[in-house]
Amino acid sequence: MEKTGSGFYIIDAFSLRQTSKKPFHLEKRFLRNNNSLDNTNTTSLEEAEVKREALLEAKRQKLKHKFLAVQKAVKEVEARKESQRLLFWESLQVAELKRNNRIEQRRAQSKELVERAKIVARQNLLRYEAEQERLRNALENRLKQSNARILITGTAAASDAGATDNRRIKKRKQQGPLVDKRYNQHYYYTERHQPQQQRQQQNQKQEEDKNEEACSKNDKNKGIKKRKITWSELISIFHKLGLPMFSMPETWLQFNHLGRLLRNKRVIQVISKILNVVLNVIDKDGRKRSRVLLSAYMMTMCPCEVFQNVHGSEEQQLLASAKKVLQHFEEIVQSQENQPNLATKLAFEQCWNGYYALFESWKSNDMTQLVANMSAYCMELMRLKETLGKQGDNDGVNEQLDQQIVQVKERIHAVGGASALEHLAEAEQALHQSYPQQDAARTPSPGPSSVPPSPTPRPERSCAHEEEPPSISAEQLNRLLGGYAPVSGITNQQLAHEIILDPDFKLQRASTDEDPKTLEQQVRKIATQAFFDAVEEDIKNGSPEKSLPPLMNDVRQRLLGLVRSGSGIHTQIKETMDIPLIEQQTKQKIFDLDEKLQYVIQVMRQICAPVRDEAIKAIGDMDNNVHQLRAILEMLDNMAVDLGNFRLRSLRPHLIPVAVEYEQSKFAESLSQGQVGLAKTRAWLQQAKKKLADVANERNPENVPTRNDNHPSNNPNTVFEEAFISLLISPEMISPSWCPETILLDVERITQYQNELQSITIVAALVMLAKNFGHVGDLNVLAAKLFIMLEDGNTTIDNLALEIERNVCIIDEQRRPMIRAMVNKTVSHSDTVYSLLMRRVASVVRTQLNAGKFATREVLTSYGLECVRKPLEQLCVRVMILGRHHFQVYSQWYNDILVNDDNNN
């Protein structure tokens, strides 16, 4: 190392050199001459220029694409605005069209109202003129009568004046001057202190009394009788009454005005006199006939207010007869003759007799209905009286109730006569006999045989009274139900079960021959037809003694079964339908089948429900006796079903408290007799218990120990709910061959619930599908349409797909096959969406069954079930009622099965 003059040190580094251990050619890469550097710089500039041009070209293309996209967006916006403008213009046109139509409708209505107002004004003017004319004529008549009375009283007063004055002078002379003085003082005092107006009234009254006394004296002395009104004067008085003319509808009045006019005593009196002349009768029923004729005015001019069913056959017949009577009556009063001719009177009398008979028949029906309603009201008052007597709240109330009962009975007697009171007394006696002997104050609901069936059955008593229904034993209940089971073709236990679970349950005939579907029904129809053909052949051959007596006995027994034993009509049927007498008459060939059948039809018309009136009338119009007899037997079967349904409604309050005990006893009896077992029920519950245990184990993978009481599989109620829900959501339709023994009574009901659950799930899935495809309408409307389509057995997958396509905005036609495929997939039980929604529906049903509360709207919306809320809620309520009733009835057997299963494990 050497030191230089500048103070630096020089070190020899050659000895320190080391090789880089790299290939020799790498060094050549770094050893570049100046030429290569120049070439490199030139190449770099060219490349940079090329890259710049490429970058600029790319930016140009990008800007071009953006410009094209902006132009496209602008065109789309303009097209959208144009479509909105066209839509708005179409809406304006539609609104203008609707506005014009509405204006036209209002113009037409206003025109009609104006025309109606003109007609009413014309009618009022006519009535006003008629009223003025009537008042003018009445005033003239009064003036004439006053003049005649003055003439009569004038002659009498002149003859008696002299004798009266002489008697007064003699009397005063006998009494002396003291009497005259007192008389003068009294006269002066009264004249001095009595008001002038009062004196004038007294003087006028005294003068009128004198005139009337004079008239009466002259009439008695001279034997003057009241002058008889001639026919011309009677017709003149009639025209002044202002009654509307049947042939002139513009003179018809409204219901209220016409009613006030027809209730006028003067009108009734004049019409009565005219009818007496035309019909040649003079009796006390003249006013009644007058009111009957005036009722024809009400029927003709206001039929909707008079008749309940204007289009009924009986009402139409009565209305036609009323019009005919008014037409003939108008011809009589419009004639210019001094007396109505004989031909006109006979024609009117013939029409009058037919109209009067139809009117009385129609009136009797209303009277029967009115008597039935008043009888039912009277019975309710009696029950209320007994109820208040039991509760001890009868202070002062019993007297009012007694007064009301007496008033109602008086009205019943006035309308229905003594027979109606007899029926009411029988019903009242039966009501009191139905009370338990040990508690006389108890007020039960009317039993099946308390009151005979009426056209207006009494409603059940509400729960507002807070009274417990009377207890009834299982034996009594079994005996009562035994009378209805043969009619419906089901057992007593099934009948009681249906009455409890279905408040609207009605008995139905076991089978009908109108539309035979099974082989048994077809054979029954053929045999029935052959039997009645044989009966008709016997009647034609003159040997009815073989077939008619048994048939009449059958009719007799059915009629007796429809009325209460011991009643008047029961005795009448037994006496009239005397089978030994009928047998003798058929053997002697003197039996009148028409008469008996008409009597039977008459009795049926009395005891049937109003809904059967038309059918019974049709039976009465039949010409063939055999067909009539067959129709009577079928109608009696229907009436027996009607009576049974009415009595079952009355029996339901008695059955509810003992229903669980009754079904338990019947099921225990079936178990003891070996008719049913519990093997299927045990397997059903064990499967549900195992499922709950598996779910609990999945939720507890670490096997954390828990109390046995908290385990779901150890709770009988939870196990039953799981088993019950599994039946409802099962894709397989429930069948009596494999269902649990405790569910046998409700196989059809659970099948119906299964179908409803599947329909709800399918509709919810399809609505969700439509929503995903862009549904633009109301989802609730779509759901309602889908429910209606699913109720139709002919609906296919294509129909559902078409409905979804109609409610979905399809832009691309290639999506239609996709929608059909999705609909076909969605309605399948194996579809994921369907399974998910079915589990959610089951969760809602389980919540209702467990807690008794329906899911909230938020929960349904999150589940996708908002569109099926209403049918789902209705189904949940019915499932809850069925499930809780089942658990109450069969809980003891369910507990035994689960306890035994735990002990075995």
Whether 199 maps to a domain, the answer reads no
Q: Could you give the number of structural domains in the chain?
A: 3
Q: Tell me, what amino acid is at 883?
A: G
User: How many other CB atoms are found less than 10 A from the CB of residue 613?
Assistant: 17
CA dist 354 to 18, 343, 346, 600, Å? 151, 17, 13, 25
User: End of a domain among 310, 340, 370?
Assistant: 340
pLDDT for the residue 233: 83
Give me 536's structure tokens: 């008709």
Burial label for 421, CB within 10 Å (0-12, 13-18, 19+), is middle
Residues 827 and 758 in one domain: yes
Q: How far apart are CA 303 and CA 319, in angstroms?
A: 8
Distance in angstroms (rounded) separating the CA atoms of residues 387 and 461: 12
Distance of CA 615 to the CA centre of its chain: 22
* Strand ranges inside 259-405, DSSP E: none
427 pLDDT above the threshold of 50: yes
In a domain, 815, yes or no: yes
Q: Is residue 828 part of a domain?
A: yes
pLDDT in tens, 56-107: 999 999 999 999 999 999 999 999 999 998 998 988 889 889 989 889 988 8
Look at residues 507, 501, 491, 471 and name the one whose alpha carbon lies nearest to residue 667.
Answer: 491
Q: Of 364-378, 387-401, 464-478, where does the model show the most confidence?
A: 364-378
Q: Is the pLDDT of residue 181 over 50?
A: no
User: What is the model's pLDDT at position 826?
Assistant: 80
Distance of CA 348 to the CA centre of its chain: 44
pLDDT at 16: 60
The pLDDT confidence band at residue 489, using thresholds 50, 70 and 90, is: low
Predicted pLDDT at 309: 74
CA distance 142 to 326: 32
Q: 10 - beta bridge partners?
A: 2
Same domain? 782 vs 895: yes
User: Looking at the structure, do residues 734 and 838 belong to the same domain, yes or no?
Assistant: yes
Of the two residues 486 and 637, the one the predictor is more confident about is 637
Flag whether pLDDT at 209 surpasses 70: no
What is the pLDDT of the chain when averaged over all its residues? 76
Q: Check whether residue 670 and residue 695 sit in a common domain.
A: no
Residues 642 and 683 in one domain: no
Same domain, 671 and 627: yes
* Phi-psi category of residue 529: left, alpha or beta, with phi > 0 → left and psi -120 to 50 → alpha: alpha
On whether both 640 and 743 belong to a single domain, the answer is: no
0.95 exceeded by pTM:
no
- Whether residues 580 and 718 share a domain: the answer is no
Q: What is the pLDDT of residues 597-606, one digit of tens each?
A: 899 998 998 8
Average pLDDT on 510-537 reads 73
Beta bridge partners of 775: 808
Q: 């507002």: which residue's tokens?
A: 464
Between 503 and 232, residue with greater pLDDT: 232
Token pair 């099926």 is found at 868
In a domain, 69, yes or no: no
Reference 681, options 634, 741, 612, 763; nearest CA is 741
Please name the helix (run of DSSP H) or strand (run of DSSP E) that holds residue 2, with its range, or none: strand 2-3
Examine residue 38 and state whether it is found in any structural domain, yes or no. no
Write the pLDDT tens digit of every residue in 120-159.
888 888 888 888 888 888 888 888 887 777 776 654 444 4
- Assess whether 664 and 761 both reside in one domain: no
Last residue of a domain, one of 629, 658, 675: 675
Q: Do residues 787 and 815 both lie within one domain?
A: yes
- CA Rg value for the chain: 50
CA distance 254 to 245: 13
What are the structure tokens assigned to 43, written together? 């190449």
Contacts of 871 (CB under 8 A, 6+ apart): 756, 759, 760, 787
End of a domain among 340, 364, 388?
340
pLDDT band at 463 (very low <50, low <70, confident <90, very high): very low
How buried is residue 188: exposed, middle or buried, by Cβ count under 10 Å (0-12/13-18/19+)? exposed
The pLDDT score that the predictor gives to residue 870 is 92
Asked if 621 and 693 sit in the same domain, the reply is no
Q: What pLDDT does residue 77 have?
A: 93
Structure confidence by residue, pLDDT tens digits, 539-559: 888 888 888 888 889 999 988
Domain hosting 606: range is 444-457+469-675
- The pair of structure tokens assigned to 708 is 């046995």
In a domain, 32, yes or no: no
Pairwise CA distance, residues 423 & 440, whole Å: 23
| Residue 480, pLDDT above cutoff 60 | no
Residue 428 has a pLDDT of 75
pLDDT more than 70, % of the chain: 74
Tens of pLDDT, residues 20-57: 555 545 555 544 555 555 555 667 788 888 888 999 99
Instruction: Report the pLDDT value the prediction gives residue 19, as an integer from 0 to 100.
Output: 58
pLDDT above 60 (res 564): yes
CA distance linking residue 650 with residue 647, whole number of Å: 5
As a residue count, the chain comes to 905
The residue-averaged pLDDT of 578-589 equals: 87
Report for 15-19, 445-449, 829-833: range of highest mean pLDDT: 829-833
Q: What is the residue whose two structure tokens read 């009596």?
A: 736
Whether 165 shows a pLDDT value over 90: the answer reads: no
Give 163: exposed, middle or buried? Use CB within 10 Å, 0-12, 13-18, 19+: exposed
DSSP letter at 600?
A: H
pLDDT tens-digit profile of 710-728?
Answer: 566 678 888 888 899 998 8
Interatomic CA distance for residues 117 and 85, integer angstroms: 47
User: Residue 890: inside a domain, yes or no?
Assistant: yes
Q: How far apart are alpha carbons 398 and 376 in whole angstroms?
A: 19
Which band of pLDDT confidence, cut at 50, 70 and 90, is reported for residue 673? confident
In a domain, 212, yes or no: no
Is the domain of 885 the same as that of 774? yes
Residue 692, pLDDT score: 85
Q: Which residue has the tokens 């129709």?
A: 631
pLDDT for res 74: 94
